[in-house]
Amino acid sequence: MTPFSFNRATDRDQALTLATRGARFLGGGTNLVDLMRETVERPAALADVTGLSREISETPDGGLMIGAAVTNSALAAHAAVRTRYPVLSRAILAGASAQIRNMATVGGNLLQRTRCTHFYDVEGSRCNKRQPGQGCDARGGFNRIHAILGASDACVATHPSDMCVALAALDALVHLASASGTRTLSLTELHRLPGDQPQIDTVLEPGELITAVELPASALAAHSTYRKVRDRASYAFSLISVAAAIEVEDGRIEDVRLALGGVAHKPWRATRAEESLRGQPASLDTFRAAAEAELAAAVPLSENGFKIELAKRTITAVLAELAGVDA
Amino acid sequence: MKAVEDAKQAVQGAASAVMAKAVQMAPDSWMPGGKPDPLIRAQHGHVGRPISRVDGPVKVQGAAPYAAEFPLDGMLYAALVFSTIAKGKITALDTDAAEAATGVKLVMTYRNAPRMKPMPLFMTSEKACGGNDLPVMQDAQVYWNGEPVALVLADTQEQADHAASLIHVAFEEEHAITALAEAKAKGVEPGQFMGQPLKFENGAAEQALADAAHKVDQRYTTPRHSHNAIELHAVAVAWEGDRLRVHDATQMVAHSAWSLGHVFGIAEDQVHVTSPFVGGGFGGKGLWQHQVLAAAAAKLAGRPVRLMLSREGVYRIVGGRTITEQRVALGADAEGRFDALIHTGTTAMSHHNVLPEPFILPARSAYATKTMKLDVEVAYLDMVANTFMRAPGEAVGTFALESAIDELAHDMGVDPIELRLRNEPDKDPTTGAPFSSREVEKAFRDGAERFGWANRQAPGTRREGEWLIGTGVATATYPYYRMPGGAARITLTPNGAAIDIAAHDMGMGTATAQTQVAADRLGLDMAQVTFNYGDSTLPGVVMAGGSQQTAAIGASVMAAHRALVTELLKLAGNDSPLAGLDADEVVGVNGGLAKIDDASAHESYASILARAQRNELVVEAEPPSPLETTHWSMHSHGAMFCEVRVNAVTGELRVSRFLGSFDCGRILNPKTAASQFRGGIIMGLGLALMEETQYDERSGRIMNPSLAEYHVPVHMDVPEIEVMWTDIPDPHAPMGARGVGEIGITGVAAAVANAVFNATGKRVRDLPITLDKLL
């Protein structure tokens, strides 16, 4: 680990000031500190922002505003989240371990970096995300957990978060602040596909701080779930995960939200599948066709071809379960 | 060098084959164990009771010092830099920034390291225990990807770690063989293990296979595994003049002292290695380069040094289990009796170690067959020296053999337990030696009843919702070993006794079980017995490996005890109630000696010592050579039963029940033994379901050197595990006990794979059984 200075921000302005002097924001440290230990990240200064908002509050329009420093554990356990947005609670509990969730923050979870082992191997592997232009050893190397959608020649990494997959399905908003003011993004706009700049994970400007995540009111969300498929029963990143909410009336799909994890450089909102589902009869055939539509553009790597069929099956099973259709 | 070693091994092998025949022909009474250990008859002592660990309190208080926890005066902390190429030369070493960094006291590379001999390679002489025999930071040559190329000493660990990250090393790569296909194409060599070729032929097995009424002929593969003991490999060393003090985490203190002496050109008694507590060994806690480098750096810096490998460091420099490609072919007659058993294949090895994964070992003694062909071939890779890892050979060999038997049983429509029992041998199938004790049928029958094996259904017919359910069974097997070199000292005082032996407790309960045994042998309470171990200055050269420590310590203490009793009877003299009795006629009881069949003829140790005006009596003795392992065929066995659930949608595999029914002779302590069995089974579940070292065949680099990416079972992967045992003493083993340390991992992967077949109708022959193989 490279030596660094450490400051604890007591309010937003102080945090932003520290950032303008080059400090990186530190949440629970469950990812950034690991990356610093591996020297993937070498920040000269850290600004601890866990003392900023830890509030979860109701919004005027019936949604929830979640402070960026709320821990993953607190969010998953929150009664309103459990009842009105069960997909989010389940997604969080499907990730990491209880100890890590107790430390990890909402803002930090959004900014997790990929778990590609070649990205982590500073001395021994080439990685365009770590060192632009160096090349990618994952493409012909270990890529079991890597992308099947939206990858580029430069990078095939996936975003590792479970929580973000649920947020993508829930149309969550991300509130940002910087020295030049505040702005709000859709969660699905926050992360970017790798293209030829895989070193850039999100659209955040330097020094921009995530202050809160907002969940809009949603009748649909109360009937939602998350399913994660991975290589052991717990404590593993997803091969495929599915966040979904569906509303069926008289056997027809009135509305649906669907997002996938473990498939791309960002939490993947399955808009193609959603389009093909709306207004259709709630049946296994419809669900499978929607999954096929979403995965039509999937490109397998040397080790992860199975994820295409796995994603289709998991999507179909999750929608069938939510819609009460027998598999 | 290699040719000479091979020739030496061949000569030793031939000589030992002749010896073996002679030992087999000799009368039982000449053999160690020819007369059963008197302790086998004792049924009311401490042996056999579920006694809690004697070191439990100190461990739960955090007061048990492990190797990294000895704060030596003026100690410096070490960090390593590893090579990033598999073969080539260091062309530049930029250490300036590291040397200038805060707290740094020394940067050691090949340019300034003291001159040292390579480690003496394990098993090449009595006390040699090096994991490889390569030069240790002596020149610019690089031999594997991950080899240490620089070491930093600093005032704190953090300073050392940071400085290590500032060192830049440039390499000139040479062509390395890191892909198995290329290694095989360059030619394979016959495998040798402990001086014997891993080859056996009896009859024309291929012809018998071709002619057989029923047959299977399949290929099975197993990946690399890395050691992941929870305690990281660590050492704290200090030079006191020309004497080297080593606080190590090791399974072999005496071997290490001798081997380190060899490396530094000093006598073994100038090296003092202790290892009072070890957080798991499993075959991986031997002598690797980190102990040598720590001692070299301490010498160069003139200060004590602590070197604890990072988890990555363990993957980079400590070997693990190597890859295997196995063929098992079985030919059977109409009743299922084997006409042919063929188990052959290839394993990968480095050029600088001695262990071709001996996966044919189970097949040597498990089943009767008219013809047999066994063969292990070796392909050489430029990789970290592979090594022993829990049940080397048996763990992966049983996967192939026991899967194939399940395949044959299914093809024939015979219950797989019945098929196995139809092929029970009446003597050892390869050596012809009689079995010392073999209760395979009882282990299967008792286990089947407890597990509910009779409820098994046809493949692919049990389903609950998305989950397909199936059950499977496999044989577990592991040999009884007792290695030469044992010795023990007993110090008897009026109040009790101390046993001294250079043996080990890596958490499995050695000290507890041996205190129970010694208390019974001496007729003392456990509180009166102290068992001292983990110190190279104690008698004996006893490795904690091969599940042989219980026997090795047991035989050593038996020998010392006999010497003690002989001496005590001399001291007791003619005024004792014991007068005129010899060592065979007395036993330890009630704090003294008594005539075997007349408890009234008794005199306490205190009384004997007092009359002889002695405060203590010290004896030391060595046991006879372990000829019993040649005279009899001595093996532990077990029957492994497994129930799995396979998700029909996702292919996810969950083990929902597991039962191990074991025949390991007498169980000395049911509590610690059950933990050994369960721990082995959990490691077996890892082998079956998820463990795999990701070795990049392009670079020879291990790509998942962390417990986040190298998957071992988490709690949710491990179901309730039931264990049971026959508890039938082996009449020819000390205490009637065979080892329990390694058998638990054997047979597990096959039981899981066979259950998966029963659940799904899919046969997975390539470990680990990940969900993509079941989609």
What does the alpha-carbon distance between residue B577 and residue B601 come to, in Å, rounded to a whole number? 5
Q: What is the mean pLDDT of residues B99-110?
A: 98
The pLDDT of residue B8: 55
Q: Does residue B708 form part of some domain?
A: yes
> SS3 for A7?
strand
| Statement to judge: residues B474 and B541 lie in one domain | no
Q: Does B133 fall in a domain?
A: no
- Give the list of residues 6+ apart from residue B8 with CB closer than 8 angstroms, or none: none
pLDDT above 70 covers a percentage of chain A that reads 100
Cβ of residue B709 closer than 8 Å to a chain A Cβ: yes
Closest chain A residue by Cα to residue B716: A233
Asked if B208 contacts B372 with a C-beta cutoff of 8 angstroms, the reply is no
Q: Is the pLDDT of residue B11 over 70?
A: no
Whether residue B157 lies inside any domain: the answer is no
Using DSSP, state whether B505 is helix, strand or coil.
coil
Structure-token pair, residue A53: 């908002």
pLDDT score, position B196: 86
* Per-residue pLDDT at B597 exceeds 60: yes
User: Which tokens is B462 given?
Assistant: 């049990």
Residues B475, B496, single domain; the answer is no
Contact B714 A125 (CB under 8 A): no
The answer to whether B717 contacts chain A (CB < 8 Å) is: yes
CB atoms under 10 Å from CB of B740, counted, come to 30
DSSP for B388-449? Answer: --SSTTHHHHHHHHHHHHHHHHHHHT--HHHHHHHT--SS-TTT-PPBS---HHHHHHHHHH
Residue A27 clears pLDDT 60, i.e. is over it: yes
Within 8 A of A234 by CB-CB distance, chain B residues are 714-717
Contacts of B729 (CB under 8 A, 6+ apart): B36, B40, B437, B665, B666, B735, B736, B737
Residue of A nearest to B161 (CA): A1
CA distance to partner chain B, nearest, from residue A3 (Å): 8
Q: Classify B279 as helix, strand or coil.
A: coil
Q: pLDDT tens across A158-187, in order?
A: 999 999 999 999 999 999 999 999 999 999
| Chain A closest-CA separation from residue B334 CA (Å) | 41
Would you call A324 exposed, middle or buried from its count of C-beta atoms within 10 A (0-12, 13-18, 19+)?
A: exposed
Looking at the structure, tell me whether residues B488 and B472 fall in a common domain. Answer: no
Q: What is the pLDDT averaged over residues A296-304?
A: 98
pLDDT digits over A223-243, tens only?
999 999 999 999 999 999 999
By the 10 Å C-beta count (0-12 exposed, 13-18 middle, 19+ buried), A250 is classed as: exposed
Categorize the per-residue pLDDT at B13 as very low, low, confident or very high, splitting at 50, 70 and 90. low
Q: Indicate the residue among B569, B598, B625 that finishes a domain.
A: B625
Name chain B contacts of A3, Cβ cutoff 8 Å: 102, 162
Which string of b and e fits A67-76 if b means at least 16 CB within 10 Å? bbbbbbbbbb
Q: Give the model confidence (pLDDT) of A251-293 as tens digits.
A: 999 999 999 999 999 999 999 999 999 999 999 999 999 999 9
Give mean pLDDT, residues B28-48.
91
Q: Which of A1, A117, A121 sits opposite B162 (nearest CB)?
A: A1
In chain A, residues with a C-beta closer than 8 Å to the C-beta of B84 are: 123-124
Flag whether the ipTM exceeds 0.90: yes
Residue B362 located in a structural domain? no
pLDDT at B249 > cutoff 60: yes
User: If you compute the radius of gyration of chain A from its CA atoms, what whole number of angstroms results?
Assistant: 19
Q: Is A23 helix (H, G, I), strand (E, B) or coil?
A: coil
- Do B389 and B225 form a contact (C-beta atoms < 8 A)? yes
Tens digit of each residue's pLDDT (9 = 90 or more) over B68-86: 999 999 999 999 999 999 9
The Cα-based distances of B69 to B75, B287, B344, B384 in angstroms read 11, 19, 46, 28
**Weakest-pLDDT range from B24-28, B585-589, B675-679:** B24-28
Average pLDDT estimate for B457-473: 97
Question: How many domains is chain B built from?
Answer: 2
Burial (CB < 10 A; 0-12, 13-18, 19+), residue A216, is middle
Structural domain boundaries in chain A: 5-50, 229-323
Q: How far is CA A138 from the centre of its chain?
A: 21
Nearest to B169 by CA among B103, B100, B79, B98: B98
pLDDT tens string B158-208: 999 999 999 999 999 999 999 999 999 999 999 998 888 999 999 999 999
DSSP string, A68-127: TT-BHHHHHH-HHHHHH-HHHHHHHHTSS-HHHHHH-BHHHHHTPPP--HHHH-TTT---
For domain A5-50, say whether CATH 1.10.1040.10 is its number: no
Q: For residue B589, what are the domain limits?
A: 484-625
| Average confidence (pLDDT) over B138-143 | 98
Q: How far apart are CA B383 and CA B134, in angstroms?
A: 12
pLDDT mean over B309-324: 98
Decide if B549 contacts B510 (C-beta within 8 A): yes
Same domain, B637 and B770: yes
Say yes or no: B695 and B612 in one domain: no
pLDDT at residue B1 above 50? Answer: no
Last residue of a domain, one of B625, B655, B670: B625
Judge: A1–B771 Cβ closer than 8 Å, yes or no: no
pLDDT at A76: 98
The 3-class SS string of B62-100 reads CCCCCHHHCCCCCCEEEEEEECCCCCEEEEEEECHHHHH
| CATH number of the domain where residue B529 is located | 3.30.365.10
Q: Is B466 on the interface with A (CB under 8 A)?
A: yes
Predicted local distance difference test score (pLDDT) of residue A187: 98
Instruction: State residue B14's pLDDT score.
Output: 61
A78: number of CA atoms within 13 Å, CB side?
Answer: 24
B663 and B769 in a single domain? The answer is yes
Is the pLDDT at B20 greater than 90? The verdict is no
User: Average pLDDT in the B392-420 region?
Assistant: 98
Q: Is residue B377 among the annotated active site residues? A: no
Total Cβ atoms within 10 A of residue A280: 16
Query: Which candidate, B521, B525, B528, places its Cα nearest to that of B498?
Result: B528
Neighbours of B61 (CB within 10 A): 8
In a mutational test of the B interface, the residue from A122, A148, A229, A232 whose CB has the highest number of chain B CBs within 10 Å is: A232
Model pLDDT, residue B739: 94
**Residue for token pair 């049990």:** B462
- From chain A, the residues in CB contact with B764 under 8 A are none
Which residues in chain B have their CB less than 8 angstroms from residue A43's CB?
A: none
End of a domain among B563, B596, B625?
A: B625
pLDDT for the residue A218: 96
In angstroms, rounded to a whole number, what is the distance separating the alpha carbons of residues A295 and A275?
Answer: 13
pLDDT of amino acid B41:
86
B703 contact residues in A (CB cutoff 8 A): 117-118, 121, 125, 141-142
Q: Which residue in B has a C-alpha nearest to residue A317's C-alpha?
A: B649
User: Per the domain annotation, does B586 fall within a domain?
Assistant: yes
Greatest CA separation for chain A: 63
- Whole-number CA gyration radius for chain B: 27
Tens digits of residue pLDDT in B627-667: 999 999 999 999 999 999 999 999 999 999 999 999 999 99
Q: Is the pLDDT of residue B9 over 80?
A: no
Indicate if B600 and B728 belong to the same structural domain.
no
- The mean pLDDT of A118-146, rounded to a whole number, is 97
- Neighbouring C-beta atoms of residue A123, cutoff 10 Å: 14
Neighbours of B721 (CB within 10 A): 19
What average pLDDT does the structure give for chain B?
96
pLDDT (0 to 100) of residue B21:
85
The Cα–Cα gap between B442 and B430 comes to 23
B187-201 pLDDT per residue, tens: 999 999 888 899 999
The closest of A26, A57, A24 to A213, measured between CA atoms, is A57
Looking up tokens 């009884």, which residue turns up?
B480
pLDDT average, residue stretch A42-64: 97
pLDDT at A55 over 60: yes
Quick one: which H or E segment has residue A19?
helix A12-20
Cβ neighbours of B170 (radius 10 Å): 10
B428: pLDDT confidence band, cut at 50, 70 and 90? very high
- Residue-wise pLDDT for B483-503, tens only, equals 999 999 999 999 999 999 999
**Whole-number pLDDT of residue B3:** 52
Q: Which of B147, B377, B394, B742 is catalytic?
A: B742
pLDDT value at residue B425 = 98
- With contact defined as beta carbons under 8 Å apart, do B417 and B402 qualify? no
AA letter at A111: L
Of all residues in chain A, what percent carry a pLDDT higher than 90?
A: 99
Best mutation target, B696, B698, B766, to test chain A (most A CBs within 10 A): B696
Residue B488 sits in the same domain as residue B477: no
Residue A20 carries which side chain, given as an amino acid letter? T
User: Would you say residue B210 has pLDDT above 50?
Assistant: yes
Q: Return the pLDDT at B15.
A: 64
Check CB contact under 8 Å for A232 and B690.
Answer: yes
Q: Which amino acid is at B632?
A: W
CA distance B583 to B79: 56
- pTM metric for this prediction: 0.97
Q: CATH fold of A229-323, please?
A: Enolase-like; domain 1 (3.30.390)
Residue type, A154: A
Cβ distance of B694 and A142 shorter than 8 Å: yes
Alpha-carbon distance of B578 to B607, in angstroms, equals 12
pLDDT tens per residue, range B325-376: 999 999 999 999 999 999 999 999 999 999 999 999 999 999 999 999 999 9
Residue B621's CB is within 10 A of a number of other CB atoms, namely 20
- Average of pLDDT values for B260-286? 97
Question: Tell me, what's the pLDDT at B18?
Answer: 79
